[in-house]
Amino acid sequence: MLSAPPEFCGRGKIKTARDMTYSQKRFCVLTTGRAGSTARMKALGKFEDIAVPSKNVACPDEELLSPGRLQEYLRDYSRLCSEEVRTEEQLIDSFFRCNAAFRFCGFKSMPERHKDYGAFVHMPGIQFITLSRLDVASTVASFIAAMKFKTWRRDGGAPAQKWTFRAGDDAGLVRGNLAYVYKSLLQLDAVPNAIRITYEDICEPDFQCAALDNFFERRIRIENPKQPTRGQEYLTNWEEFRSYIDRTYAELKART
């Protein structure tokens, strides 16, 4: 039987976290971004026995090591754990320890957030869940749309605005984002013993992953999932953009 979650004083101290002695199941969802990771974390956070960062602090994306808010989270968990938390490693450890009353506990991250990524993905006691998007061209198109229109948080479906790819103006931005996605996918593929899921899969109404369900001891899926957003919904000249991505991607692979 799953134990009850601890009591919270708003986003303040946890009352009973250190009184529990059962084995906590820890996890980290690793992603490139633009792959449905926020929706996946929200689906997990709805369960009372699964701890995610937003159950402790203001963390809308559940990304514990978010660069823009890292110092804030270090202060937050120093307060929650009643001890000084200075480093990223201490932050991760403090997050797990202060949620000890939860049967499951995890956060979202991305490969580039970790100074020693190799050591991180080999940390004992953490089940890594990789979430990638197979459609690389649409991933890059989504990144650039988010940059241009400040639409980093979306609930799926067709975006409200489209952008036009101009090779002369956008080549550097596109190449940079494509190189990031390509490198990140290689890093996700290299995570040992990971549970591997894709954006395309979790958007399916009948999505089911036995390894994921076994880990969480229940079926895990997004409620009312929407179909994957297609690249042509981001751009006015999708075919031109996709052709450019295909050529550039081939160049990246040839140099690897």
pLDDT, position 149:
84
State the pTM of this model.
0.86
Separation between Cα atoms, residue 18 and residue 81, nearest integer Å:
10
Instruction: Please give the DSSP secondary-structure letter assigned to residue 56.
Output: T
pLDDT, position 157:
64
pLDDT, position 161:
87
Counting Cα atoms < 13 Å in the Cβ hemisphere of 236 gives: 6
pLDDT, position 58:
95
Map out the domains of the chain as residue ranges. 17-255
pLDDT, position 6:
40
Separation between Cα atoms, residue 104 and residue 94, nearest integer Å:
15
Q: Are 99 and 17 in contact (CB under 8 A)?
A: yes
Residue 95, token pair as written in the block = 């997050």
Local structure of 171: helix, strand or coil: helix
Separation between Cα atoms, residue 248 and residue 228, nearest integer Å:
23
Tens-digit pLDDT string for the chain (256 aa)? 233 334 333 334 443 334 344 589 999 999 998 888 888 899 999 999 999 999 999 999 999 999 999 999 999 999 999 999 999 999 999 999 999 999 999 999 999 999 999 999 999 999 999 999 999 999 999 989 988 887 776 666 677 789 999 999 999 999 999 999 999 999 999 999 999 999 999 999 999 999 999 999 999 998 888 888 888 999 999 999 999 999 999 999 999 8
- Domain range 17-255, CATH architecture: 3-Layer(aba) Sandwich (3.40)
